Structure 1
Amino acid sequence: MARAGLSRDAVVRIALDLVDGGGTTGFADLSLAKVAAQAGVATPSLYKHVASLAELRREVSVVCVEDLTRAMTDATVGLSGADAVVALAHAIRDVARARPGRYAASQVAPDPDDPSAAPLAEAAARSVQVVAAVLRGFDLPPDRTIDAIRSLRASVHGFVHLELGGGYRLPDDLDASFTTHVAMILTGLEHLRGRP
């Protein structure tokens, strides 16, 4: 029997706490057994609230994508062009450094053929719309917008992923390197719109 007061929302909150507590591998290491132990119930009791680990992971990802989207929106509101891109990049990095487990959960792409992934797909679409809005200030050709969104996301994610994983061991200042990295992204965006 499930613990009194345990609900779907409570299970998701417990999972989020475990993701936070697990650092960079918190999301990858999430399991129903860990959630059940934290909740003080037997693992089968969780099935009253979530159908599977996959479903719980999707619920966690939705929350994490929404958190990231909110941070990107807050950082870029009222800005345009290069200023907006710089703010966006720093917002992503700040979220990843503050909550690496949640950041990892926000990077899960929903399966477009899975109806149960619809809430995650909708959250992800809103997140991509923020990036697209930031890039509007560059007047990119319409057929290059998706390329620019993918490149910007991949570039910032690559830097952040290496940073979180301890991939930068040289003594040089990482903040200065990130500033240079973002400047190189901006140069690429200028090139993409035909103004090198």
Structure 2
Amino acid sequence: MPRAGLTTEKVVLAGADLADEIGFAGLTASELARRLGVRTASLYSHVDGTDDLRKRVALLALAELADRGSDAVAGRSGHEALVALGDTYRGYAAEHPGRYDATRLRLDAQTAAASAGPRHAQLARAVLRGYRLSADDETHAVRLLGTVFHGFTTLELSGGFAHSTPDSQASWARILDGLHHLLDHWSTP
């Protein structure tokens, strides 16, 4: 029987908050139960253990990030849309590092297809429409955007840019400008 006051939504949100605090890798059902002041068994009315909790946090994070990306890109195109989407990923990661890590959890094909994951690819494709790429080149460019956004963000979160100048914001702006130039002058070999 579910514990009074706990719902699946509250458990998943608490799990996401805990992941932001201690890191997604440290998120377990038993650690969450300790934080909520309940027995681990009490969570099993809401999640089927640590793997299910982690999957649900990943799905929540994918949806949150897709919603933010949609809002940021709406009405923009070209360089402005590219910067808006990149800044959304980077900002979300800084604000919610555990959730951001969760977005990279490998999901089974059925769960991934039903998640907000495909919306991320649609957002990238919406940004890329302004660059008039062929279908194949658009796919390559979606992968390039993911590599740049996630690569930079992951290195920045891990402190990879903390001990050098100029600061990472200056590098980020230059990288997005360079990415825009590349996309604007993309040619198929």
Is TM more than 0.5 here?
yes
2:68 and 2:145 map into 1 onto residues whose CA distance is 16
Per-residue CA deviations over 1:161-184 (Å, capped at 9, x if unaligned) read 111101012131221111111112
- In structure 2, relative to structure 1, the CA distance for the partners of 1:181 and 1:103 (3 Å cut) is same
Verify the 8 A CA contact 2:24 2:98 in the aligned structure 1.
yes
Verify the 8 A CA contact 2:70 2:123 in the aligned structure 1.
yes
Verify the 8 A CA contact 1:141 1:193 in the aligned structure 2.
no
2:106 and 2:141 map into 1 onto residues whose CA distance is 18
Unpaired runs of 5+ in structure 2? none
Corresponding residue number in structure 2 for 1:187: 181
Unpaired runs of 5+ in structure 1? none
What TM-score does the superposition give when structure 2 sets the normalisation length?
0.91
Corresponding residue number in structure 1 for 2:89: 92
2:143 and 2:62 map into 1 onto residues whose CA distance is 16
Corresponding residue number in structure 1 for 2:10: 10
The match for 1:29 among 26, 31, 47 is 26
State the AA in 1 paired with 2:117: A
State the AA in 1 paired with 2:58: S
1:9 and 1:43 map into 2 onto residues whose CA distance is 16
Verify the 8 A CA contact 1:3 1:40 in the aligned structure 2.
no
The match for 1:70 among 52, 67, 70 is 67
Aligned length: 187
Identity in percent: 39
Q: Give the CA RMSD over aligned residues.
A: 1.8
1:18 and 1:58 map into 2 onto residues whose CA distance is 14
2:42 and 2:130 map into 1 onto residues whose CA distance is 51
Per-residue CA deviations over 1:21-47 (Å, capped at 9, x if unaligned) read 22xxx2111011111112222212222
Per-residue CA deviations over 1:64-121 (Å, capped at 9, x if unaligned) read 1111111111111111112111111111111111111111112224221xx4x25x74
Corresponding residue number in structure 1 for 2:121: 128
In the alignment, structure 1 residue 173 sits paired with structure 2 residue 173? no
1:185 and 1:53 map into 2 onto residues whose CA distance is 39
What TM-score does the superposition give when structure 1 sets the normalisation length?
0.88
1:173 and 1:13 map into 2 onto residues whose CA distance is 33
In the alignment, structure 1 residue 58 sits paired with structure 2 residue 52? no
1:96 and 1:170 map into 2 onto residues whose CA distance is 21
State the AA in 2 paired with 1:43: T
2:79 and 2:10 map into 1 onto residues whose CA distance is 41
